[in-house]
């Protein structure tokens, strides 16, 4: 009996305190804070588009940036919830990106119809997709690194939201940096690649977040 008591005392002394996981809301706010700082630093290096002051009077440009910000917030919150096995019993909130993406599609549809006559297409094409991708790599890698510390049982969706969160950072950066008024170009080379990012995220989630 004495040996058992000694063993219990030893285990109690050796056991390290386990830090409780943060609430998904706090986790999401932390991610958004770091991402916002990354975006600001990126814009400090690249600079803002010179016509930004006039674009801030364009209601459809403001709506577009607002819709992108909605995707940024929704995917961050969804990724944080999906990082936990029980989604904190917030399934409806976890699927908030569906609503924000629907609103984003509506905004871009109205912006496209309002672009009449159409603004001239820029001389470049895939370079925009490449620029968004390059800026998104660091936050995407950081997101997967952090999310691996949790125990997601919805790793496909978690990976998808993580990549879309990172993509939204790059998309906001490029719209605030690049002088480009062609909605058709923006839809084709800025936002349609989101579909590919989402699909890649589904696969990466299984590879990197499954436990």
pLDDT digits (tens, 9 = 90+) for 25-49: 999 999 999 999 999 999 999 999 9
The span from the CA of 166 to the CA of 180, in Å, is: 22
Q: Are the C-beta atoms of 94 and 187 separated by less than 8 Å?
A: no
Domain count, the chain: 1
pLDDT interval class at 23 (50, 70, 90): confident
Specify if 4 maps to a domain.
no
* Rounded CA separation 70/65 (Å): 9
Rounded Cα–Cα distance for residues 86 and 180 (Å): 43
The alpha helices in 47-95, defined as continuous H runs, are 52-55, 59-82, 91-94
Domain presence at residue 9 = no
150 within domain boundaries: yes
- The verdict on residue 11 lying in a domain is no
173 or 210, higher pLDDT? 173
Could you tell me if residue 106 is inside a domain? yes
For the stretch 62-93, pLDDT in tens is 999 999 999 999 999 999 999 888 887 888 88
The full length of the chain comes to 211
pLDDT at 2 over 70: no
Structural domain contains residue 6: no
Domain presence at residue 135: yes
Tell me, yes or no, whether 193 lies in a domain.
yes
Domain range for 140: 24-114+125-209
User: Could you say which DSSP state residue 40 is in?
Assistant: H
């Amino acid at each position: 009996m004495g040996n058992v008591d000694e063993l219990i005392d030893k285990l109690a002394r050796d056991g390290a305190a386990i830090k409780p996981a943060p609430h998904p809301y706090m986790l999401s706010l932390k991610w958004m804070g770091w991402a916002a700082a990354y975006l600001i630093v990126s814009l400090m290096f690249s600079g803002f588009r010179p016509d930004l002051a006039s674009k801030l009077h364009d209601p459809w440009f403001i709506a577009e940036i607002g819709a992108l910000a909605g995707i940024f917030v929704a995917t961050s919150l969804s990724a944080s919830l999906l990082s936990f096995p029980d989604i904190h019993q917030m399934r409806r909130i976890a699927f908030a990106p569906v609503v924000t993406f629907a609103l984003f599609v509506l905004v871009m549809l109205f912006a496209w119809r309002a672009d009449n006559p159409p603004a001239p297409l820029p001389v470049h094409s895939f370079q925009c997709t490449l620029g968004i991708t390059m800026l998104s790599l660091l936050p995407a890698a950081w997101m997967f690194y952090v999310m691996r510390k949790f125990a997601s049982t919805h790793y496909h969706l978690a990976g998808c939201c993580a990549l879309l969160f990172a993509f939204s950072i790059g998309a906001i950066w490029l719209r605030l940096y690049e002088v480009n008024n062609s909605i058709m170009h923006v839809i084709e080379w800025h936002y349609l690649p989101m579909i590919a990012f989402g699909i890649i995220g589904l696969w990466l989630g299984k590879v990197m977040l499954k436990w």
